[in-house]
Structure 1
Amino acid sequence: MPIYSANVSERAQQPPELAISTVIFALRPDPEAGVPTLWLPLVRRTRQPFRDLWALPGGPLSPDESLQDAAARNLQETTGLQPSYLEQLYAFGGLDRSPVQRVVSIVYWALVKPDEAALARETENVRWVRADDLGQLAFDHNRIVEYALWRLRNKVEYSSIAYAFLGSTFTLAQVREVYEAVLGKQLDPANFRRQLRATPDIEPTDEYLQGGRHRPPRLYRYTGSAAQLSGSPSA
């Protein structure tokens, strides 16, 4: 696969390009494992450099829009998604990120609820991939996803970010599935349920999840703020 590159002096004469990229995490059922796992949508590149490799949704920043607006617009254009949780993650600006021109990417991450993920547009050039089975991505996007996963696993331990993956009501077992998918390990159901019931930011409803063969579990709702989801100091 040919990669078009510019020499160091040529690149030094060009101003760096500012771009937006987004890592979108959602819980989707794994046909093989039979449990929800972390997935993210990727976009196939249709031009050089890295033509035909998969990459994170993104694109250049327009001069007349904010970073957040650019991230939201790009997600809508590439995947059809309009996630309610969209937060700036980090800036990546290594000199070797692109073989043609220096590109500084402002990276956002989005956490998608089940009803939002179901609306995602999949085409020949947009597909969902398991977060632990990405293959080789364009640019340094493997590194970006690894960093986003590290941040997510750390954040789920001290914030309420797990509820960003859930609908307006949920069972305690569904919350545990989020933690297990993010942390990549199984948790003891009884201990987890006991700890979860002691947290102040969820409350039981008078509704139950119907459709199972066993006693229907009670549904809960998240009562915290958006700041608590992200672990903001203002929470």
Structure 2
Amino acid sequence: MMRFQLLLIIGISIQASAYSQDFSAVPASFDTIWNDVDLSDYFISFPLNSSLSNHSQDTLVLRWYRVKGANCPQEWDIFMSDFNISYVPEIDSSTIPLTFYPGDSMRHFSLEVAPRQTHGCCRVDVFFTDQDDLSVRYDTIQYELAINDSSCDVTFVNDLPEGEELSVYPNPVLSFFSLNKKFETVKIFSITGELVKILRYEPTARYDIRDLDPGTYILSTNGKTGSSKAVILKH
């Protein structure tokens, strides 16, 4: 039994290593401190850029997820940008898949932090996963950020947010959709972060979005079990 467990662990490690060899983010770690920042400027911001590359002979279709540590100041706005779109701070995952052809690379995948006149520190992890299988993790960019704060207590984040188990069906959606859990409220945002619709719990477990234009939306839920997010496609 012990030998079987050891072989299983080795197999998982080899598989994870293979994924990381297929795809890389450079740099994949930022330990950045900005001192003597003039925080009277509300609009000051600091971009951090990485380059993403596909080293495999296959076409990779990826998405990214951002997880912020519990110590991040609520006042900070953290923006993400990839080659498809620039995202408002409220959106924590890519809404459009990132397609990399063999040998393809993309520069300037960017995280930009705007402290909004507030000092502090923050740990942010960005996970790159397979579009359809979150267990296939290709790489992670880790950001440890401090602004006018030399006593940072960085909160480490080791996994994807708990809300990712939310299921929407059917997806894409034509008229109605259902969820695998009950929630008190369901909010729908555009990919630019605009709130476009609020839905209340329906005993029939069917939510009507016939009035929405076709496109990609972010679904955010709140209930007794916590909050979750998902991406939905409206046809």
Q: Same fold (TM over 0.5)?
A: no
Instruction: Decide which structure has greater strand share.
Output: 2
Instruction: Decide which structure has greater helix share.
Output: 1
User: TM-score, normalization: structure 2?
Assistant: 0.27
User: TM-score, normalization: structure 1?
Assistant: 0.27
